[in-house]
Chain A
Amino acid sequence: MKHTLVALLRDQPGVLNRSVSLFRRRGFNIESLTVGHTETPGISRMTLVVDGDTTSVEQVIKQLYKLIDVLKVSDVSQDPNVTRDLLLVKVYAPPAKRSELMQLADIFGAKIVDVVPDAMMIELSGSPEQLDRFVDLIRPFGIRELVRTGCVAMTRGASTVSGPYQNQEFRAA
């Protein structure tokens, strides 16, 4: 089963490296991993999608917690949450195919971000499943290049993952 984990990291040298090599060393399979800034300076947020049974995911969480610069790890899979992935795709699009592609993009709420005589770049953000469906639909047109960022996730409601760390001062690296 897929689990979405959210981890808060202190911005210290090597913290990302430590986390990633921990997965390699313990033989955990990562489906996607993204890191970015948060509302608190000095804290980064890592979103991980891992495939594994509950016991091994629990081990991932415990091992992550052991890293000194990891502040918090939550498995948000079971909580109501919003999960988003971002897709950029360059599709083969001669003038005859353009309008059909634009219609499809429109249905999915995707944006055309670049057009040249025989290609088009489309941007779409959404749940990973939504992105999968869109990619399946445009595949027959001929995909030239595709990139996805991997998931970020946030639980619904007023409570936050970063709660206790929100108003603290954090030394930047």
Chain B
Amino acid sequence: MKTLTGAQMMCEALIAEGVDVMFGYPGGAIMPFYHALPEYPQLRHILVRHEQAAGHAAEGYARTSGKVGVCVATSGPGATNLVTAIADAMMDSIPIVAITGQVVTSLIGKDGFQETDVTGITQPITKHNYLVTDVRDLPRVFKEAFHIARTGRPGPVLIDVAKDTQNARGVFEYPESVDLPGYKPNYDGNRRQIKEAANLLNQAKKPLIMAGHGILLGHASVELREFAEKTGIPVITTLLGISCIPEDHPLSLGMPGMHGWVHVNRAIQECDVLFTIGARFDDRVTGKLDTFARNAKIIHVDIDPAEVGKNVITAVPIVGDAKRVLENLTEIVNANEHSEWLNHIRDIQATRSKRQRDPESGMFTPHHVYAEFTRIMQGEFRVCTDVGQHQMWAAQLIEYMKPHTHITSGGLGTMGFALPAAMGVQVACPNEEVWAIAGDGGFQMNLQELATVVQESLPLKICIINNGYLGMVRQWQELFHERRYSATPMWSPDFIKLADAYGIPGVRVERAEDVAEAIQQARSTNGPFLIEFVVEREVNVYPMVAPGASISDMFEDPNEVEIEDVVAVK
């Protein structure tokens, strides 16, 4: 009988799972795998410049393609460099499989060179993980890993393979199914509960839908829209839910939470039924919990039973897949309209403006950049953001029209995410326009990936919103720490020269009137392009709820123009 090495089995397993690309970095303990890789030309390997970037790129790939992203690293430092990305994937429920090499079996536990207990380290930040020391286990482990990563509430799975196991030979028979008696995700919501939810929604006078990442992960955008349109219920979208409904849809209201819109947070506080689907009531959404949605009965749909009832008291819990539950619910719920309620929220919205007064310094605000993005792109692009002020503005100010066009690090809030994640997005969507938007701080956390962008000919458009500060921390220092700008002013290199060193063309924009032209120039450039927007240094993200405060207590931008006085939110 024909035998394969463990390394060959790993490649065969990847192919069997439909993998065509992976992001990785070789090293001692994973060398047998890399030795086998050239025998499988259908497996594209993208060499990153740091393992963290491999993880984020796999995430970016998974976040757009809906397939499982794969990243590869060696033992020890290679594996520990993956940790941030794995934690990121865990928090945002992203299906990735991380493959790491491990020292030879005889050295495990002996502090061998580049040995790290990576299954131990990643235990709380993976959905599941494996250490494989017997080549006969490899096919089963790969089958299970991909199954676990992509089903139920998706998440990262790590497979640590000892070097001698990669070299050992065995018969390769890839299992057709998994045998996991302790893992049976529930997809169909309980019929009775769905009926109860429908009753509650039928009676509601001021209902509200809060749609989260689960809509995108469950590919339920169409179903969400049909449900909202039949019931006439307005939709708010959490940070990770953004793009699950076209933002110009008459029922789409925008983002709630710490930097959500006033009218959205007000809608939460006034609604009588809050139908939440695929969202987990993060503290950045709820603010002070006991003041959140006080007037509402909450219906919570989630595929993860542990999320239901974790943070808020739920009137109707439904454990199931977003798509199936919405289909069932739309079938039985009454057609309705809530124009009075919707108009009321729109009235609140109309009193607020997204326009900014131009600063006296003569510099321009980041708002110009985002306004131009929306105007020029018409929704025909995918945006990866980093973490901080620019991320909140990108969530607030850019209009997203199609699912999976807004990709960001939500739960973990990982600076340095945008560039490597955008690489993964570009690989998943080679013919689409992909933008990485980062601040000057976050960009410098993973800028080494410019080399990967060039080596792989990824036509990424990179946008740096440079305010010379770690802007969000500076904003908190301004508002809550007596303006003590401790360790937030930040010097940066000449980003255009830096890009040039990598062979990437770029332009620095210092005047508002040049913003549109720069964006157009980036779009018309065949290949990667970098724009540095040098913006007004001390602009804050508004509206804002102070950490730990109620979402009823928002403070608004003193620099906004055309604000009419409205009654303070109760």
Report which residue of B148, B182, B309, B310 has the largest number of chain A beta carbons within 10 angstroms of its beta carbon. Answer: B182
Q: Is the CB of A10 within 8 A of B182?
A: yes
| A70 interfacial by beta-carbon distance below 8 Å | yes
Q: Is the CB of A68 within 8 A of B128?
A: yes
Q: Is the CB of B124 within 8 A of A21?
A: yes
Known A65-B305, A67-B182, A69-B182: A14·B123 in contact at CB below 8 Å: yes
Known A13-B131, A69-B182: A63·B119 in contact at CB below 8 Å: no
Q: Mark B484-504, 1 if CB is under 8 A from A, else 0.
A: 000000000000000000000
A17: nearest chain-B partner, CB-CB = B123
A66: nearest chain-B partner, CB-CB = B306
Bound-state Cα–Cα, A58 to B313, Å: 13
Q: Is the CB of B123 within 8 A of A62?
A: no
Q: Is the CB of A63 within 8 A of B182?
A: no
A69 / chain B contacts, CB cutoff of 8 Å? 182
Query: Chain A's nearest CB lies how many Å from the CB of B162?
Result: 13
Known A68-B180, A68-B182, A165-B181: A59·B123 in contact at CB below 8 Å: no
Q: Is the CB of B119 within 8 A of A14?
A: yes
A66 / chain B contacts, CB cutoff of 8 Å? 304, 306
Q: Is the CB of A71 within 8 A of B309?
A: no
Which B residues, 271 to 315, have Cβ-Cβ distances below 8 Å to chain A? 304-306, 309-310
Known A10-B181, A65-B305, A70-B182: A18·B123 in contact at CB below 8 Å: yes
B128 / chain A contacts, CB cutoff of 8 Å? 68
Q: Mark A102-130, 1 if CB is under 8 A from B, else 0.
A: 00000000000000000000000000000
| A168 interfacial by beta-carbon distance below 8 Å | yes
B183 / chain A contacts, CB cutoff of 8 Å? 68
Which of B127, B180, B309 touches A55 (beta carbons < 8 Å)?
A: B309
Which of B124, B304, B306 touches A59 (beta carbons < 8 Å)?
A: B306
| A25 interfacial by beta-carbon distance below 8 Å | yes
A55 / chain B contacts, CB cutoff of 8 Å? 309
Of the four ranges (under 10, 10 to 19, 20 to 34, 35 or more), the interface on chain A belongs to 20 to 34
B182 / chain A contacts, CB cutoff of 8 Å? 10, 67-72
Q: Mark A13-43, 1 if CB is under 8 A from B, else 0.
A: 1100110011001000000000000000000
A24: nearest chain-B partner, CB-CB = B124
Q: Mark A40-70, 1 if CB is under 8 A from B, else 0.
A: 0000000000000001001100110111111
Q: Is the CB of B124 within 8 A of A25?
A: yes
Bound-state Cα–Cα, A63 to B307, Å: 9
B304 / chain A contacts, CB cutoff of 8 Å? 66
B127 / chain A contacts, CB cutoff of 8 Å? 68
Q: Is the CB of B124 within 8 A of A62?
A: no
Bound-state Cα–Cα, A65 to B183, Å: 8
Which B residues, 85 to 139, have Cβ-Cβ distances below 8 Å to chain A? 119-120, 123-124, 127-129, 131
Q: Is the CB of A21 within 8 A of B306?
A: no
Which A residues, 119 to 173, have Cβ-Cβ distances below 8 Å to chain B? 165, 168, 170-171
Q: Is the CB of B310 within 8 A of A59?
A: yes
Which of B120, B180, B181, B305 touches A168 (beta carbons < 8 Å)?
A: B181
B310 / chain A contacts, CB cutoff of 8 Å? 59
Bound-state Cα–Cα, A100 to B448, Å: 79
Query: Chain B's nearest CB lies how many Å from the CB of A123?
Result: 35
Query: Chain B's nearest CB lies how many Å from the CB of A12?
Result: 9
Which of A10, A25, A65, A68 touches B148 (beta carbons < 8 Å)?
A: A68
B148 / chain A contacts, CB cutoff of 8 Å? 68
Bound-state Cα–Cα, A171 to B127, Å: 21
A17 / chain B contacts, CB cutoff of 8 Å? 120, 123
Query: Chain B's nearest CB lies how many Å from the CB of A94?
Result: 48
B120 / chain A contacts, CB cutoff of 8 Å? 17
Shortest 3 CB-CB contacts between residues of A and residues of B? A62-B306, A71-B182, A68-B128
9 pairs, A vs B, C-beta closer than 8 Å:
A10-B181, A14-B119, A17-B120, A18-B123, A21-B123, A22-B124, A65-B305, A66-B306, A67-B182
Q: Assuming A58-B309, A59-B306, what are 18 further A-B pairs, CB within 8 angstroms?
A: A10-B182, A13-B131, A14-B119, A14-B123, A14-B129, A21-B124, A22-B124, A55-B309, A59-B310, A63-B306, A65-B305, A66-B306, A67-B182, A68-B148, A68-B180, A68-B182, A69-B182, A71-B182
Where the two chains meet, the residues of B that have a C-beta atom closer than 8 Å to any C-beta of A are 119-120, 123-124, 127-129, 131, 148, 179-183, 304-306, 309-310
